[in-house]
Amino acid sequence: TVQGILQMYYEFEEILKEISGMDKFSLHPQGGAHAVYTAASIMRAYHRDRGELDKRREIISAAFTHPCDHAAPATAGFRLIILPPSENGYPSIEAVKAAVSERTAGMFITNPEDTGIYNTEIDQFVKIVHDAGGLCFYDQANANVLLGIARAREAGFDMCHFNIHKTFGTPHGCSGPGLGALGVRDYLAKYLPFPTVEYDGEKYYLDFDRPESVGKIRQFQGPAGVLVRAYAWIRAIGQEYLKEVSEISTINHNYLQKKLQELIPEIDVPYAPGRRRLEEARYCWQKLFEATGVSTTDIMRRVGDFGLQHYWTSHHPWVVPEPMTLEPCESYGKEDLDEYAAVLKHIRDEAYSDPEVVKNAPHKCASHKLADESALDDPKRWATTWRAYVKKRGRT
Ligand SMILES: Cc1ncc(COP(=O)(O)O)c(C=O)c1O
């Protein structure tokens, strides 16, 4: 009774296989971090089956790799070795060589990193980790500059993931439900979560008979709505225009960065300054903060007053102080980018002329400023259900 949607899951996997060079995909994960956790579980199963899990407990990663690539393997029981960037903006080959050993389970890495800097030596990183007996996972959550240009397979990776809710047809930063796609090479396919979607030449079906699977990571496939949108988007633009998505994403980013740096003298792009970013940059508002007391979080809330949604303060830990990561990608046109830059310039001017307006924002949004934003980072002070809230409140 669900042949249509199964066909879409199946065909979308085929498309992702072509884009990445991986041999099999799972569309179960409910987002990027969930896909990364599934990859860490597969890495654990791989070393366990080789009788090496007790020995191989270390994962190598980089400081500007997305923090879920640190948190997910840690949750799966691994220890993290996080390499700092060299003057290139990413770790040096010597640092990777020094980090590997017989304890290495693998590497989890984002490229381009969260700074937008592309690591051109990534294949050598992979080789060093493989030579030490580890597996390599490529975080391609935001692949808008890689589509049609670079594939995880050619760089030597064993696994990769895409954030379908970001790369494929959803404007970045515009929220909504998540769908993570985890791709693996053939020798890891048996570990993927079950059931997988298969095709016997006549009909599509769910294969539950996968005894070596890491198991179920949720009750069914990831959100079908996100899948339908991404499937429609990719079928509409076609294979030949995928590369154009990457080119437009790069141009849009370069245009926005140049415009912002012309308009706003306080905006910095720290770490490997001057090095070209691809589709995003992690900007720094520290100078404005020191001069006016207006923080990146204040600016974020104020942006909403102008009817614009896309603003990322960047996740914790804040390796860059007062960070703002903008990733316009292919979805926006020149007028949108001009408007965006003009709004940020306006808020920057307000920070000097009337800082309280910015600090007390939003003024026109349905949701208000939280009384104490630090509570968001403290699990002791928030609750995911009313019952948990009442229980916690009762204790304090
Ligand atoms: C590079 C990268 N990896 C992983 C993730 C995590 O994805 P999600 O927020 O869907 O869990 C993100 C999201 O911001 C990301 O940018």
Identify the pLDDT of residue 392. 83
Mean residue pLDDT across the chain: 93
Identify the pLDDT of residue 109. 98
Identify the pLDDT of residue 185. 98
Task: Locate 247 and state its tokens.
Answer: 């080119």
Identify the pLDDT of residue 220. 86
**Secondary-structure class of domain 3-237 per CATH:** alpha beta
Do residues 107 and 125 make contact, with C-beta atoms less than 8 angstroms apart? yes
Q: Please count the other Cβ atoms lying within 10 Å of the Cβ belonging to residue 193.
A: 21
Strands (E), the chain: 24-26, 58-62, 79-83, 104-110, 135-139, 159-163, 180-184, 196-199, 204-207, 281-284, 323-326
Do residues 14 and 4 make contact, with C-beta atoms less than 8 angstroms apart? no
- Between CA 34 and CA 180 the distance in angstroms is 7
CA of 331 to the centre of ligand 1 (A): 18
Confidence tier at 396 by pLDDT (50, 70, 90): low
Best residue among 163, 165, 182 to mutate for probing ligand 1's pocket (most ligand atoms within 8 Å of CB) is 163
Task: Locate 196 and state its tokens.
Answer: 């997988």
Question: Residues enclosing ligand 1, CB less than 6 A?
Answer: 31-33, 66, 68, 110, 139, 141-142, 163, 178
Best residue among 27, 142, 146 to mutate for probing ligand 1's pocket (most ligand atoms within 8 Å of CB) is 142
Q: Any idea which fold 241-377 has?
A: Aspartate Aminotransferase, domain 1 (3.90.1150)
Identify the pLDDT of residue 370. 78
Going by C-beta distance under 8 Å and a sequence separation of 6 or more, which residues neighbour residue 225?
Answer: 177
Question: Looking up tokens 């949004």, which residue turns up?
Answer: 365
Crossing angle for the helix pair 224-237 and 239-263, to the nearest 10 degrees: 100
Q: What is the dihedral of CA 166, 167, 172, 178, to 10 degrees?
A: 0
| DSSP annotation string for 297-334 | HHHHHHHGGGT-------PSS-SSSSEEEE--GGG--H
CA of 66 to the centre of ligand 1 (A): 7
Strands (E), 51-207: 58-62, 79-83, 104-110, 135-139, 159-163, 180-184, 196-199, 204-207
Higher pLDDT, residue 375 or 267: 267
Identify the pLDDT of residue 180. 95
pLDDT digits (tens, 9 = 90+) for 350-388: 999 999 999 999 999 887 787 777 777 788 888 888 888
For residue 127, the Cα-to-chain-centroid distance in whole angstroms is 23
CA of 142 to the centre of ligand 1 (A): 8
SS3 82: strand
- Between CA 37 and CA 29 the distance in angstroms is 9
Sorted by where each begins, the domain ranges of the chain are: 3-237, 241-377
Do residues 148 and 287 make contact, with C-beta atoms less than 8 angstroms apart? no
Do residues 231 and 8 make contact, with C-beta atoms less than 8 angstroms apart? yes
Best residue among 27, 28, 68 to mutate for probing ligand 1's pocket (most ligand atoms within 8 Å of CB) is 68
CA of 177 to the centre of ligand 1 (A): 13
Identify the pLDDT of residue 258. 96
pLDDT digits (tens, 9 = 90+) for 14-60: 999 999 999 999 999 999 999 999 999 999 999 999 999 999 999 99
Question: Looking up tokens 């429609």, which residue turns up?
Answer: 232
- CA-closest candidate to residue 129, choices 149, 151, 109, 150: 109
Question: Looking up tokens 């720290």, which residue turns up?
Answer: 270
pLDDT digits (tens, 9 = 90+) for 111-138: 999 999 999 999 999 999 999 999 999 9
Whether the per-residue pLDDT at 228 is higher than 60: the answer is yes
Confidence tier at 174 by pLDDT (50, 70, 90): low
Judged on CB neighbours under 10 Å (0-12, 13-18, 19+), 357 is middle
CA of 396 to the centre of ligand 1 (A): 34
Identify the pLDDT of residue 296. 95
Identify the pLDDT of residue 311. 67
Identify the pLDDT of residue 299. 95
pLDDT digits (tens, 9 = 90+) for 12-24: 999 999 999 999 9
Q: Which of 35-49, 68-82, 157-171 has the lowest mean pLDDT?
A: 157-171
Mean pLDDT computed over 215-234: 92
pTM of the model: 0.93
**Phi, psi angle pair for 292, to nearest 5°:** -125, -15
Identify the pLDDT of residue 14. 97
CA of 141 to the centre of ligand 1 (A): 6
Task: Locate 254 and state its tokens.
Answer: 């370069």
**Phi, psi angle pair for 83, to nearest 5°:** -90, 135
Identify the pLDDT of residue 395. 63
One fold for 3-237 and 241-377: no
pLDDT digits (tens, 9 = 90+) for 294-351: 999 999 999 989 988 776 777 878 889 999 999 999 988 999 999 999 999 999 999 9
Whether the per-residue pLDDT at 151 is higher than 70: the answer is yes
Which H or E run includes 240?
A: helix 239-263
Mean pLDDT computed over 252-262: 96
Judged on CB neighbours under 10 Å (0-12, 13-18, 19+), 102 is exposed
